[in-house]
Amino acid sequence: MSGSTSPSRCRRGLLLGWMLPASLSVRAQSAAKVYRIGYLSTGSSATSYVRPLEAFRQTLRERGWVEGQNIVIEQRYAEGQVERLPALAEELVRLKMDVIAASPVPATLAARNATRTIPIVGMGLSEPVAAGLVASLTRPGGNVTGVTYSHDTDIFGKQLELLKEVLPRARLVAVLSNPGASPTLPLTMSKIETAARSLDLRLQLLEARAPQEFDAAFAAMARARADALLLTGDSIFFVHRLRLAELAAKNRLPAMSTQTQWVEGGGLIAYGPSMPDLWRSGALQVDKILRGAKPADLPLVGPTTFELVINLKTAKAIGVVIPKSLLARADAVIE
């Protein structure tokens, strides 16, 4: 009959009706842009900021960016060798990243020198204006924005204050820095010197550009009878933190750093901004850029959370008694 429809034709119609939206969905997914995020670090892939990087990824996921679906993250590490950064940054530029997340200042500078068009989010930036990365914290004005290490200069004074609280009779503090680490190091050292004077502390300024120079630096501390050690923030110190903690313990030297991983590796005490929080803020900046914001118009943000971490096992090993009042204020204590 002309008005009838065969069962096989009905089945074909149902099959085509089911396949049509599915095929449209596949075409829509294939047509959707997959954004490429470059991640450039002065650190090491083997000893990278595991928790901060996971916080970065988790925050992106919370904002709807999922690796393998709508974003790809290309990671490049300088392994503590700053001279490798320019080539790594240029490689990310050649791969046509949509945005580059870089940490800290040396990596961000390398990325900015490699491109003035790809948006860059710097993380853990110390003195970004002095480094020439941005025109101001509120109006960056170029292709760089990001997250500062600190809004003010109090962090260095706070670190020395904490060392003095642990060692009330301390008079000489050794400061170990890498002169090739960052163009803002002279400014950092000036602030450390100002803080030391206010606490009636003398400083022994020492340098180490490579792990091979660590032994000589600690020998100099021993000769000068330094009471404590302050490590400036540098990727080479982070990558080789276990060796530095071992040398500090061998010389029974209370040592301070900014990174909690330093304490987990055997260092005595760490005080500084929460790195996971900084990386979360960096991910939010990346999210805004992927959604159309311009880095020139995105104010830099600063840390909101600071962490104090103490290793009691190390304290006992080197004969240091941590005041109960300080332990009560610690965010974490390793025993």
Q: Look up the CATH number of the domain holding residue 123.
A: 3.40.50.2300
At 32-87, the pLDDT tens digits run 899 999 999 998 876 555 688 999 999 999 999 999 999 999 999 998 888 999 99
Closest alpha carbon to 124 in 262, 276, 242: 276
pLDDT of residue 185: 85
* 205 and 318 inside one domain: yes
pLDDT of residue 236: 86
Say if 107 falls within a structural domain. Answer: yes
pLDDT of residue 129: 93
d(CA 180, CA 301): 26
Low-confidence ranges of the chain (pLDDT < 70): 1-31, 46-50, 151-153
* 210 and 312 inside one domain: yes
Q: Please give, one letter per residue, the 3-state secondary structure of the chain.
A: CCCCCCHHHHHHHHHHHHHHHHHHHHHHHHHCCCEEEEEEECCCCCCCCHHHHHHHHHHHHHCCCCECCCEEEEEEECCCCHHHHHHHHHHHHHCCCCEEEEECHHHHHHHHHHCCCCCEEEEEECCCCCCCCCCCCCCCCCCEEEEECCCCCHHHHHHHHHHHHHCCCCCEEEEEECCCCCCCHHHHHHHHHHHHHHCCCEEEEEECCCHHHHHHHHHHHHHHCCCEEEECCCHHHHHCHHHHHHHHHHCCCCEEECCHHHHHCCCCEEEEECHHHHHHHHHHHHHHHHCCCCHHHCCCECCCCEEEEEEHHHHHHCCCCCCHHHHHHCCEEEC
* 134 and 37 inside one domain: yes
pLDDT of residue 182: 78
pLDDT of residue 231: 94
pLDDT of residue 29: 41
pLDDT of residue 49: 56
pLDDT of residue 324: 95
pLDDT of residue 151: 56
* 248 and 294 inside one domain: no
pLDDT of residue 80: 84
Say if 5 falls within a structural domain. Answer: no
* 181 and 140 inside one domain: no
* 95 and 111 inside one domain: yes
pLDDT of residue 152: 52
Query: Which residues span the domain enclosing 290?
Result: 33-151+274-304
Domain count, the chain: 2
Say if 17 falls within a structural domain. Answer: no
Q: Output phi, psi for 39, to 5 deg.
A: -125, 110
Say if 160 falls within a structural domain. Answer: yes
* 113 and 127 inside one domain: yes
